[in-house]
Each structure stands twice: as structure tokens, then as C-alpha cells.
Amino acid sequence: MAPPFLTVLTAPVPSERERLIRKARRVARRVVKPGVPLPATSPYPGHSSLVRSVVEGLRAIGADFNFNPGRLADLARVVYAPANEALRQAAALKRDGRIDYLVAGPVNALFVDEGDGILQLPEIDRLIVAHEWALEFYRDVPALKAKSRVCPCGIDTDLWKPSIHPTEKTLAVVYWKGGDETFCEQVEQIVRRCGLEPRRLRSLPGEHAMFDPGDYRRLLDQSAMGVFLSRFETQGLALAEAWSMDVPTVVWEPQGTAQWCGRSFESRSSAPYLTPATGRRWRTIDEFETALRGALADRSAFRPRAWMLANMTDAICSAALLDIIRDGAEHAR
């Protein structure tokens, strides 16, 4: 069977020798450790939220693609590689003439020189960024900015949906990803003054396992509002998950100095996709109480889940990504 139009590659394709070694190890394990299951592995290697959304979205729209094929013979001529090890292999394969068109981003690197300058590999034809403001990172590299296109990541709106038996919403999730603890405590005091009980959820930039997603969903299901404290977001997946649960958000938007990997930069947004349908912004602690009270008084005017269903499902975002890739590949011929 001929390879598909597109391969999504987040783990390097094993060589024939590697496949034989893996097979031998599986056979040996059954002898040495009979009945003991293999260690659990993610079905979506790489940045699991992004990879899951891309793969499941492409499946939902019936796209002609495969995902992490086991043999080089099954690799498509067009490859999307949002994971660095796979991207380096794909770049080498393109140099060898095995790939025609190579796409990366948005999670390979933030800075141009991060990861040994992986974003500047000449074999990359197209670079995906999650939001237009992220193009600021490439302002001193015009060629990289020119090959970039904006496409957000989708959310599993079937998983992230409110329960069918709604209860009284008396909580407010306080998603603490930026600012010091004193600041977070001030925010929580104001939440209480406004009649809601804060429930803090700790996160950090680049950390994806500090809390259980199921716990986050349960908190959102009991929350009238989400309060998000982050110095920067290139997209804001946790925000999108709240919106998918039909929880509007009141977002701290300092637009000041932020840090990533020990380096400082000027953040343009903490909520790039926030709209009047999904919530409100505030900049200083003195503005927060007015913003929160106003949002609570106007709660019925928000339509966060409807906005998500119209703009940011897996299928919608993967269709947009596929259009970008197909258009670029056709023009590169």
C-alpha cells in the first residue's frame, strides 16, 4: 500500500536493526518476566496535549495520514514533526531525498537558538506557531518569521464538557502559574469577598504533570468562574479546557517581563485567544475585584463552550493545520 499524504512524526522511525532488537527484547521479557505487563507508555509521544489533538483531529476529519510509522517505507513525503528527536531524523531524511516537505512547531522550541538552534534547520519548510504574538520571538530572523504560520491546538470537547447534572457552582478555580504566592493569596482573598470559594491549582511554565487532569475537570465542573494567573501563554490550553467546560475566565494580563528556560523576554499575552465570549482581562491587583464582580454579574453573557465548539475543537484545528501543510506542499513543488 502506498504511503499517505502526511506523516505525523513524534518518535523517530526505527531502523531494521532497532526493530529486530525490540522484537528480541519482547520475546525475552515474556520468558524472564512472564505475565508482567510492559511499562505504560503514552499513546501520544512528545507534547501529549498537542500530539493527541493533532492525531485525533486528523482522524476525525478522515485525513490521509499516518502516525509514527514503524518502517521508513511507510513514511509519507510530507512530514509534520513537532518533537525534536523526530524533527532531527526527518531533517536528515529530507537531506537524503526521502522527504519532500517538512513542517515543525509549535512546541519544538520557543527561542530561535533554543535546542541547538533546531528551528533554524534549513530543511524546515514551514513552522507552526500557536498565536501571532509568538512571531515576536523571530523578529530578528526574517526568514524564520516568513516561513511561520499561525494555528492553535484543539481541545477534546467531548471529554472537557460540563456534567449533565449541574450542581450549584460555588467555587472558583485559581490557576496559579505566575506571580508569587503572596499575590496568589491576595487574589484568593478577593475571590472570597466576591462570594466564591477559591480552589488553587498549581502549575509552572513547561510543566504538564503537576496536577491530575481529572481533578481539574471536576473542579471546573463546580466552578462559576476561573481565575488564571500566568505571565505568558503562547496559546493557553488550560484556559481552553476551562472554556470547553463552559467556565468563563478572569485572566491576569501583566504584559511584562516573563521567563522561560532561565531567559527573560517581554510577554505580549497571558490569554491570546480570550474573547468577550470567554472572559475578561485585568492587569493589576487593584483592578481584579472590579473585573471579577463585573464578570459574575454578567455571567449569563458569556458563551465559552459555544465559542470552543465553533473555533477550537480537535477537528477544527487539525483541519486548519492540514490546509496550511497542504497549501505549502503544493506551492513547494
User: For the segment 107-139, what is each residue's pLDDT rounded down to a tens digit?
Assistant: 999 999 999 999 999 999 999 999 999 999 999
Instruction: Work out the end-to-end distance of the chain between its first and last CA atoms, rounded to an integer number of angstroms.
Output: 23
> What pLDDT is stored for residue 261 in this prediction?
83
Cα(251)–Cα(229) distance, integer angstroms: 6
CATH code of the domain in which 318 resides: 3.40.50.2000
Domain of 136 in residue numbering reads as: 6-154+313-331
Q: Residue 79: beta bridge partners?
A: 7, 102
**Mean pLDDT lowest among 78-82, 163-167, 189-193:** 163-167
Question: Using an 8 Å Cβ cutoff, are 77 and 101 in contact?
Answer: yes
User: Between 15 and 248, where is the model more confident?
Assistant: 248
Asked whether residue 287 falls in the same domain as residue 322, the answer is no
What's the pLDDT tens digit per position in 312-331? 999 999 999 999 999 999 99
Look at residue 324 and tell me if it is in a domain. Answer: yes
Asked whether residue 118 falls in the same domain as residue 182, the answer is no
Using CA atoms of 129, 97, 51, 231 in order, give the dihedral in degrees to the nearest 10. -30
Q: Which helix (H) or strand (E) holds 124?
A: none
pTM of the predicted structure, to 2 decimals = 0.92
Asked whether residue 10 falls in the same domain as residue 125, the answer is yes
Look at residue 283 and tell me if it is in a domain. Answer: yes
> What pLDDT is stored for residue 58 in this prediction?
98
Look at residue 219 and tell me if it is in a domain. Answer: yes
Look at residue 215 and tell me if it is in a domain. Answer: yes
Number of structural domains the chain divides into: 2
Mean pLDDT of 163-180: 89
**Residue 29 confidence (pLDDT) above 60:** no
Quick one: which of 208, 228, 214 has its CA closest to 107? Answer: 208
CATH code of the domain in which 260 resides: 3.40.50.2300
**Residue 20 confidence (pLDDT) above 60:** no
Asked whether residue 10 falls in the same domain as residue 82, the answer is yes
